[in-house]
């Protein structure tokens, strides 16, 4: 095998949303950049995360809709004997992923970024050794940007392999199991559990906490729990997973009192979270400061070593693609000599369950913990005309604002299609909007967005439609 040496100003390790955006922006700014990616450009998000999961969610919703119409519908639509070919569904999903990853490659090339396909091993803070198909490449740089992402957290009692899968395998099924047990009631477990239920599997979700989506406040998650129950998804809350039974066809579960039960399973999805990808590529040799498992960074994404930067999931929570993208863009600009800091007023988070959940800024409890005297108000979709025409009136929009000057500090919503409200929520927080600003903005009728205006009006004491 041959050995070559390359030098560059910026070396990016990882071609996920954070890494590729940093590389593109650096290229735009004239910074010589090399990006190293071991698998496929786009990282977890494009290949085995956000994009494929949303594609399967859409397919499952369309199939469920067809089955709903087969039972007769108030809309007057009838469908006979709908079926789904999961292999074709997965091929369609893969086509979307392929188009997006191909687009990333084209953008990197257009902006003069050199992509090296292979696995990087850090030698020091200025050097990486990359094993490629063509041989070994040593890359030396002035600035090292770590964007290696995260990986599914394993569960020691139920190791991956065979019938036990992570979200990666769950997103490319060859068939739909009769009985699926999902371990973890967070957004990944519930999104995929919902998909499999709509595609015909019997689904049981086991969660160690006493409610689903434990990182969200309870009021927001109630409509999701109600929808799961209506769908026929079993919820086993406050339960600990002990492992598989001897026959390997059931999951052993223990309740708070120590009583053990078994949940039959043809497949088990472990979705207990994700952890920064810090092992196996020489990162420990840099001896960077840590914050738990993650790398510690400042408000410019600098690590404890000069000219070594970290963005995205490897730098801990919130593990969101759009956070990584914003950090990547900023690091490229700082390296290019611009004055930038990463101090967003809002990083929205969306859970694509059915109904969807979106949060931006502070919840009422978080505002209270932060020592703010706030008022909050909710407007129900049951009083929204557009929600009625979509046959989906469960859920609400909630606003949180300071009592003294009415500055909006947070938004939350649960309901069908509320993910699209995230832009309005975050924009109002970044622009320092008050309740009066939102209430006085004419919102188009009939739209779900009217509930945003009505929530602000209600906080001011004069909602019009309730």
The answer to whether 86 and 174 have CB atoms below 8 angstroms apart is yes
The candidate with the shortest Cα–Cα distance to 104, out of 171, 188, 12, is: 12
Give helix then strand counts, H and E, for the chain: 13, 24
φ, ψ of residue 37 in degrees (nearest 5) = -135, 130
**Residue 189 assigned ligand-binding role:** yes
The candidate with the shortest Cα–Cα distance to 324, out of 65, 25, 81, 84, is: 25
The candidate with the shortest Cα–Cα distance to 415, out of 221, 277, 251, 214, is: 221
Dihedral sign for Cα atoms in the order 225, 229, 232, 234:
positive
Catalytic residue among 58, 68, 443, 445: 445
**Residue 43 assigned ligand-binding role:** no
**Residue 188 assigned ligand-binding role:** yes
Q: What is the CA radius of gyration of the chain?
A: 24
**Residue 207 assigned ligand-binding role:** yes
**Residue 37 assigned ligand-binding role:** no
Please name the residue that has the structure tokens 């030098």. 7
Active site (annotated) includes residue 445: yes
Within 10 A of 3 (CB to CB), how many other CB atoms are there? 9
Give the contacts of 400 (CB within 8 A, at least 6 positions apart): 361, 362, 363, 364, 367, 374, 375, 376, 408, 409, 410, 411, 412
**Residue 347 assigned ligand-binding role:** no
**Residue 388 assigned ligand-binding role:** no
**Residue 184 assigned ligand-binding role:** yes
Report the C-alpha gap between 70 and 15 in whole angstroms.
44
Report the C-alpha gap between 359 and 349 in whole angstroms.
5
The CA distances from residue 114 to 24, 135, 144, 409, in Å, are: 10, 16, 15, 42
Sheet holding 164-165, edge to edge: 164-165, 267-270, 179-183, 202-207, 234-237
**Residue 319 assigned ligand-binding role:** yes
Catalytically active residues are 445
- The annotation places the binding site for NAD(+) at 184-191, 207, 273
- The annotation places the binding site for FAD at 54, 313, 319-322
- The annotation places the binding site at 54, 184-191, 207, 273, 313, 319-322
């Amino acid at each position: 095998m041959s050995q070559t040496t390359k030098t560059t100003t910026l070396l990016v390790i990882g071609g996920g949303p954070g890494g590729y955006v940093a590389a593109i922006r650096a290229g735009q700014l004239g910074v010589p950049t090399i990006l190293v990616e071991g698998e496929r450009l786009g990282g977890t998000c494009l290949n085995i995360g956000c994009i494929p999961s949303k594609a399967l969610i859409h397919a499952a919703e369309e199939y469920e809709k067809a089955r709903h119409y087969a039972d007769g519908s108030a809309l007057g639509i009838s469908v006979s004997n709908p079926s789904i070919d999961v292999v074709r569904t997965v091929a369609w999903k893969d086509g979307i992923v392929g188009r997006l990853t191909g687009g990333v490659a084209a953008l990197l090339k257009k902006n003069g970024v050199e992509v090296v396909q292979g696995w990087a091993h850090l030698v020091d803070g200025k050097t990486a050794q990359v094993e490629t198909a063509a041989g070994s490449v040593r890359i030396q740089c002035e600035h090292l940007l770590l964007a290696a992402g995260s990986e599914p957290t394993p569960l020691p009692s139920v190791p991956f392999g065979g019938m036990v899968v992570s979200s990666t395998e769950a997103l490319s099924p060859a068939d739909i199991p009769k009985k699926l047990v999902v371990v973890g009631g967070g957004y990944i477990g519930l999104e995929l559990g919902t998909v499999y239920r709509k595609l015909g599997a019997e689904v049981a979700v086991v969660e160690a906490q006493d409610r689903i989506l434990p990182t969200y406040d309870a009021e927001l998650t109630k409509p999701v729990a109600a929808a799961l129950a209506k769908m026929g998804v079993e919820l086993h809350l406050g339960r600990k997973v002990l492992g598989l039974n001897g026959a390997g066809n059931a999951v052993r579960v223990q309740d708070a009192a120590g009583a053990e039960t078994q949940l039959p399973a043809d497949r088990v999805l472990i979705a207990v979270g994700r952890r920064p990808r810090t092992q196996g590529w020489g990162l420990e040799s840099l001896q960077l400061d840590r914050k738990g498992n993650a790398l510690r960074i400042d408000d410019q994404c600098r690590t404890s070593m000069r000219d070594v930067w970290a963005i995205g999931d490897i730098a801990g929570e919130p593990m969101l693609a759009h956070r990584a993208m914003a950090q990547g863009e900023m690091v490229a600009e700082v390296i290019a000599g611009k004055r930038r800091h990463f101090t967003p007023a809002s990083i929205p988070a969306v859970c694509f369950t059915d109904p969807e959940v979106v949060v931006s800024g502070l919840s009422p409890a978080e505002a209270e913990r932060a020592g703010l005297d706030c008022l909050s108000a909710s407007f129900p979709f049951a009083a929204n005309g557009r929600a009625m025409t979509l046959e989906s009136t469960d859920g609400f929009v909630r606003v949180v604002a300071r009592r003294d000057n009415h500055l909006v500090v947070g938004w939350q919503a649960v309901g069908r299609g509320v993910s699209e409200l995230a832009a309005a929520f975050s924009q109002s927080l970044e622009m320092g909007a008050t309740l009066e600003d939102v209430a006085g903005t004419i919102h188009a009728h009939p739209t779900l967005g009217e509930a945003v205006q009505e929530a602000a009006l209600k906080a001011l004491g004069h909602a019009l439609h309730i």
